[in-house]
Copies of this chain bind each other. A is one copy, B any other.
Amino acid sequence: MSTNGKKVRVGILGASGYTGAELLRFLVRHPRVEIVLLTADRKAGSSIDQVFPHLAGEGLPKLVTIEEADFTKVDTVFCALPHATTQQVVKKLPKHLRVVDLSADFRFQDVETYAKWYGHEHLAPDLQKEAVYGLTEIERGAISNASLIAVPGCYPTSALLPLVPLVESGEIVKDDIVIDSKSGVTGAGRAAKEQNLYAEVAEGIHAYNIANHRHSAEIEQGLSKAAGRPIVVNFTPHLMPMNRGILSTIYVRLENGATPDSIRETLKKRYAGEAFVKVVDKDVVPATRHVRGSNLCLIGVFADRVKGRAIICSVIDNLVKGASGQAIQDFNRMHGFAETLGIDHAPMFP
């Protein structure tokens, strides 16, 4: 658990997007990491200076295609590729590599669920069996020994951290959960799409993929596992004008004598001692700007005017705890480092 010692030689596949940039932001200063390989298909041949001028001068390797990549001197890869592509790439990787995958490809224990939501048969069902779902605070044990980590989606991270303990404790009605999530734009990636242009996003908000966002399935998988039976949730994502951040406002009905105070207490106990998941005190309202740039998840619990209901607010930075930060947290755990190593930044406000 030291900051000194042999470095892990790391490659990043798909380094030119926003999660790639965020992996690099942390990894260039990570005391136990040496970045030895960067791939980016469309931008192969470019230097990092051209793709990410903010990282110029860090001495990073040139971008190459995956075909050109030399994996012999790589220990672990972070994979930040699109879904479907990921499966094809990962199944061909040399077996000595440990893989931390940020795509959706290995998140579903049931490959049929994957096929249903992603529209095609899973191409690496055998690998799926090995994959560990990397929601660190919930799956810590399995992560330590994993060779393939499926880093959770951003929305599921924001929803499962508060909800799993409450489904387990039996304090909320399992079939009456409404999750209204608001996300910054980087969650949509760096692809040049009209709907993500500045002028289409600034100064407005709208829901999207109502009742059919793929993260619904991932949230339901996590809650169903906690409940021991299938759970269906209402999950409605919204796109809003900010670079980073997710706020999930979650509406629950209480049962078995639970109160807003009791569920706050349940969460406080569950996450006592955690470096990155914090349950705030009564009347403190979590805001996305309080976690910006950090690996934190803040959770607040509030009584509702409607009797027997409670409101939970959960905030993360979608690029950090919702993607690259949690990926490194899992990486740290896989390699026996302190989970906080290299990602213990204080939030950047404003």
Contact = CB atoms under 8 A, between A and B. Distances in A.
Interface stretch (A65-73, A163-171, A305-313, A331-339): A305-313
Contacts of A298: 53
Interface in A16-58: 18, 21, 24-25, 28-29, 49, 52-58
A56 B294 CA distance: 13
A57 B278 contact: yes
Contact of A203 (B25, B55, B206, B242): B242
A240 B288 CA distance: 10
Interface string A184-210: 111000101110111111111111101
Given A234-B306, A305-B233, A285 B207 contact: yes
With a 10 A CB-CB cut-off, give which of A186, A211, A235, A251 has the most chain B CB atoms.
A211
A25 B346 contact: yes
Contacts of A208: 285
Given A197-B190, A199-B186, A234-B306, A350 B243 contact: yes
Contacts of A345: 29, 345
A303 interface: yes
A159 to B, nearest CB: 14
A216 B305 contact: yes
Interface stretch (A105-113, A174-182, A262-270): A174-182
A21 B285 CA distance: 19
A349 B54 contact: yes
Contacts of A286: 53, 206
A49 B281 CA distance: 10
A278 B249 CA distance: 28
Nearest to A305: B211
Given A185-B199, A249-B180, A175 B349 contact: no
A208 B247 CA distance: 13
Nearest to A203: B242
Interface of A: 18, 21, 24-25, 28-29, 49, 52-58, 175, 178, 180, 182, 184-186, 190, 192-194, 196-208, 210-212, 216, 232-236, 238, 240-245, 247, 249, 251, 278, 280-281, 284-294, 298, 302-307, 309, 311, 313, 315, 344-350
